[in-house]
Amino acid sequence: MRKTIIAGNWKMNHTGKDMRETITALAQSLTASVKTEIVVAPVFPYLAEAVTLAKGTPIHIAAQNMHWLDNGAYTGEVAPAMLVDIGVTHVIIGHSERREYNNETDETVRLKVKSALDHGLTPILCCGETLEQRDAGIMQSWVEGQIEKALAGLTAEEMLHVVIAYEPIWAIGTGRTATAAQAEEVCAIIRHKIAALYDAATADAVSILYGGSVKGKNVAELTASPDIDGGLVGGASLKAPDFLEIIQNAVVK
């Protein structure tokens, strides 16, 4: 049975003080009985402290990126084994901003997904189309291609430990949100693609998140959709009250 997941991607925001205040406020408001899986992804310098603050709470800590190798001459990179060593449990892979600004490719995304799984990390695999691709009528083939390339070589058992995040690039940080129907359409396409690559049971067990201007006022409609199992939240996850509203309003299936 797939999980409902609300994940906060803090991007390049929050100093140590901000991080401590936000995670502490979240921890004080969340009880062990919360049914939604909560994930927070601070910037690299504060991951270890965030893990300590989240210990004993329902909050899981994610990294925003990682290399696929355990060590080597890769200045500025962080290895998966290092994330595991400090207690990180999830990692965001292939976010559209990484693809655009840091030359992420389908191949590096594939390598990272496989490496994350090999190290016991839960990869949150991002996919999505630009407005130009949507308007050109290639949204489905583009997203299906991203999924197929990223999952190449994974077994059905490994697939059960992957989380997919659909992020329409045209709705990230723009204040523009895909309608629940638009988001559901693509998440259903993704699930059908997973079923084609594996089987229906595997596809039905995978959590698929929507990531595009998710807020407290729209999360219920989004997560009530059959194939949307939560959200990858950007700006609205930076303030504890806003993030808590999203968590509280999410529909748990």
| 199-247 per-position pLDDT tens digit | 999 999 999 999 988 999 999 999 999 999 999 999 999 999 999 999 9
Q: Which residue has the higher pLDDT, 177 or 156?
A: 156
Does domain 5-237 correspond to CATH entry 3.40.50.300?
Answer: no
Q: Would the CA dihedral through 153, 159, 161, 164 be positive or negative?
A: positive
Residues in a beta bridge with 63: 91
Local structure of residue 22 (DSSP, 8 states): H
Q: What is the per-residue pLDDT for 173? A: 67
| 157-186 per-position pLDDT tens digit | 999 999 999 999 887 766 666 899 999 999
Residue numbers in the known binding site for substrate are 9-11, 173, 213, 234-235
Which residue in 210, 159, 205, 154 sits closest to 185, CA to CA?
210
Residue numbers in the known binding site are 9-11, 173, 213, 234-235
Annotation marks residue 119 as catalytic: no
Q: What is the per-residue pLDDT for 32? A: 85
Mean pLDDT of the chain: 96
Give yes or no for a contact between 28 and 59, defined as CB atoms under 8 angstroms apart.
no
Distances (CA, A) of 130 to 82, 139, 182, 188: 33, 8, 14, 18
| 86-128 per-position pLDDT tens digit | 999 999 999 999 999 999 999 999 999 999 999 999 999 999 9
Q: What is the per-residue pLDDT for 143? A: 97
Query: Which of 97, 104, 144, 167 is labelled catalytic?
Result: 167
Given a cut of 80, whether residue 1 has pLDDT beyond it is no
Annotation marks residue 167 as catalytic: yes
State the pTM of this model: 0.96
Q: What is the per-residue pLDDT for 222? A: 96
Query: Which of 95, 97, 119, 184 is labelled catalytic?
Result: 95
Which residue in 201, 194, 186 sits closest to 127, CA to CA?
186
Record the tokens describing residue 219, joined without a space.
Answer: 């999360």
